[in-house]
Structure 1
Amino acid sequence: MATAHPTDRLPGELSDVPGWFPPLDQVLFTWLLDRQEAGGFRGDLLELGVYLGKSAILLGRHRQDGEHFTVCDLFGGEAPDGANRAETAKSYSSLTRQAFERNYLSFHPELPRVIEAPTSVISGEVAPKTCRFVHIDASHLYEHVHDDIGAAHEILLPDGIVVLDDFRSEHTPGVSVATWEAVLNRGLRPICLSTQKLYGTWGDPEAVQEELLEMLRGRSDVGLSVQHAAGHRLVRARSKGMREPEFPRSRHYVATAPEPVATSVSAPVPKRRRSPVRRVAVDLLPPVVTRAVRKGLRGRG
């Protein structure tokens, strides 16, 4: 009998969806998107690289009426070059479009626009200056990340936000090089840094940084520091035991009954009282006679 793959199980909660989307980044995504919406900032949403849909599910919750949400991924399809094929085979062998769509539809009534192709096609699929939020989490190869950042710059509205995943992981140096190159040479301005992601804009980050700092300073589950480098203010945030924020459960959620709690203590078993004859025998007679009396009494009882 075939063993069920973890991705075959329908998620009941966002935490059930496999993927790398820490609680801190869930909080930052939600806060930044809520801020845009509260300020009347409208625009489309885009995610490059979706894996099994964990961050896409959160993004989809923030699509407002009249906005579009587009995702782009190879989904195990043919990669554009040998290095990308090797990366896909190593890190994303379990990824299928079917698994992504099943997870996404567990939380939403309809899918986003799904482009099953290399992210290099995105500039021809999404119009320039139409998106308010772009999440880049596709290839870890420098050339691809460099081009994804360039595409995001074209697609984002002024003051739109781009999020770059794995910008400082030890196994993704290509992402690091492409990210800091964009900061130093391509006009990208950091808003904040989490353990995994850099949040940035090609607009002015000062106002959003000030509001973000105020929010983060009010939380006891966030470690915070501010540094300056190459003319940029770098707001660094890290989790201090942060739990995943609340998120609407999927339609597959089934509440589990709590374990019953014992409310009474079993009554002690009463000790067997010895008969008067037995007590006298034990107390007064020699041991040999006592054993004989006990044996006789057991035989009668």
Structure 2
Amino acid sequence: MATAQATDRNPGELKDVPGWFPPLDQLLFTWFLERQETRGFGGDLVELGAYMGKSAILLGHHLQDGEKFTVCDLFGGEAPDGANAAETAKSYSSLTRQTFERNYLAFHDALPRVIEAPTSVISKEVEADTCRFVHIDASHLYEHVHDDIGAARDLLLPDGIVVLDDFRSEHTPGVSVATWEAVLNRGLRPICLSTQKLYGTWGDPEPVQEELLETLRGRDDCGLSVQHAAGHRLVRTRAHKGMQPPSFPHSRYYTAPEPPQPAPQGTAPTSAPARPRPRPSSRVRRIGADLLPPIVTRALRRSLARGAQKS
């Protein structure tokens, strides 16, 4: 039977899945989810905007017994308005539901609940006060992000975690406005900031921040700073060069690289053969031909020839 192997279409590792999910955010997702799990904090998971499935694959790995995981994305379908349609055509023209599902199933036995629709439907599809973790990474337009944040607040349990992607990218000012508006006017309390994402809660951020600070201070692969603004403590994190993501299970298509084969025992390493040194008689002949009179040269050659025959 043929063995399944990773290809351009079948990822072998999480890093093979296209998408914007750097090692630092993989670390933070894992830390927040595992913290909830070790404390017996259960609840459903939701992702708004999935792209090719990279972050969804990690989220699905943390699904506990009795929990549900819901993914909502247009997947190239009909957008709710002209601005959203233009954004989708520009940035996500290659995205299809089939690609997402193929990538996800490379790592999991079953798909999450997939809703192929605008994220505005999520409040009707998922019950309020049932979720422990919501990741928002869909539209970059202010109106849509504003509504996605409102939906996340309704869906989350007390002390649940919301993650907002692209909150400070130069090409997504609508996300920045909606994010900081939620912090200043809608009760969202930041826990920490990465280069791409804001992690927050509508509960009490202080206990989570203290534990996170203790964890990150013990690492040498990321930087850490604390600032205060508008009554909020902001924990800023950044990855150092060469930071590696946390370990993650391989996909069903993964093939381990073959180790280098050792040289057979008892065989000496081959080397280039040494260049032979010219025989002394050759040097004599050259010198004689160049410097001595012809009669002397002929006599010298005869003498050398007789000596070679005797030897």
TM superposition score normalised by structure 2: 0.88
- Once the two structures are TM-superposed, the CA of residue 255 in structure 1 deviates from its matched residue by 1.9
- Once the two structures are TM-superposed, the CA of residue 246 in structure 1 deviates from its matched residue by 1.3
Matched residue of 1:286: which SS?
A: helix
Distance 2:55 2:134 in 1: 12
Matched residue of 2:237: which SS?
A: strand
Matches for 1:3-22 after TM superposition, within 5 Å:
9-22=9-22
Matched residue of 1:257: which SS?
A: coil
Percent pairwise identity: 76
Matched residue of 1:164: which SS?
A: strand
Matches for 1:1-301 after TM superposition, within 5 Å:
9-241=9-241, 242-258=243-259, 265-286=269-290
- Once the two structures are TM-superposed, the CA of residue 268 in structure 1 deviates from its matched residue by 3.7
Alignment partner, residue 4 of structure 1 = none
Distance 2:179 2:28 in 1: 19
One-letter code of the match for 2:285? A
One-letter code of the match for 1:155? L
Distance 1:235 1:256 in 2: 39
Q: 1:269 to 1:8 in 2, by over 3 A?
A: closer
1:147-195 CA distances to partner (integer Å, 9 max, x unpaired)? 0000000000000000000000000000000000000000000000000
1:20-45 CA distances to partner (integer Å, 9 max, x unpaired)? 00100000000000000000000000
Matched residue of 2:284: which SS?
A: helix
Moved more, 239-248 or 107-116: 239-248
Matched residue of 2:62: which SS?
A: coil
Distance 1:56 1:8 in 2: 19
8 Å contact from structure 1 (residues 47, 72) kept in 2: yes
Q: 1:82 to 1:287 in 2, by over 3 A?
A: farther
8 Å contact from structure 1 (residues 8, 99) kept in 2: no
- Once the two structures are TM-superposed, the CA of residue 261 in structure 1 deviates from its matched residue by 7.6
Distance 1:234 1:276 in 2: 85
One-letter code of the match for 2:273? V
Moved more, 237-246 or 250-259: 250-259
Distance 1:286 1:50 in 2: 86
Which one has the largest radius of gyration? 2
One-letter code of the match for 2:23? P
Distance 2:192 2:286 in 1: 85
Matched residue of 1:85: which SS?
A: helix
Q: 1:218 to 1:272 in 2, by over 3 A?
A: same
8 Å contact from structure 1 (residues 52, 95) kept in 2: yes
One-letter code of the match for 2:250? R
Q: Matched residue pairs, number?
A: 288
- Once the two structures are TM-superposed, the CA of residue 271 in structure 1 deviates from its matched residue by 2.8
1:83-106 CA distances to partner (integer Å, 9 max, x unpaired)? 000000000001000000000000
Matched residue of 2:161: which SS?
A: strand
1:217-276 CA distances to partner (integer Å, 9 max, x unpaired)? 111111111001111000000001211221110010112225568896533423324445
Q: 1:76 to 1:273 in 2, by over 3 A?
A: same
Give structure 2 stretches of 5+ with no counterpart: 1-6, 306-311
TM superposition score normalised by structure 1: 0.90
Q: 1:280 to 1:120 in 2, by over 3 A?
A: same
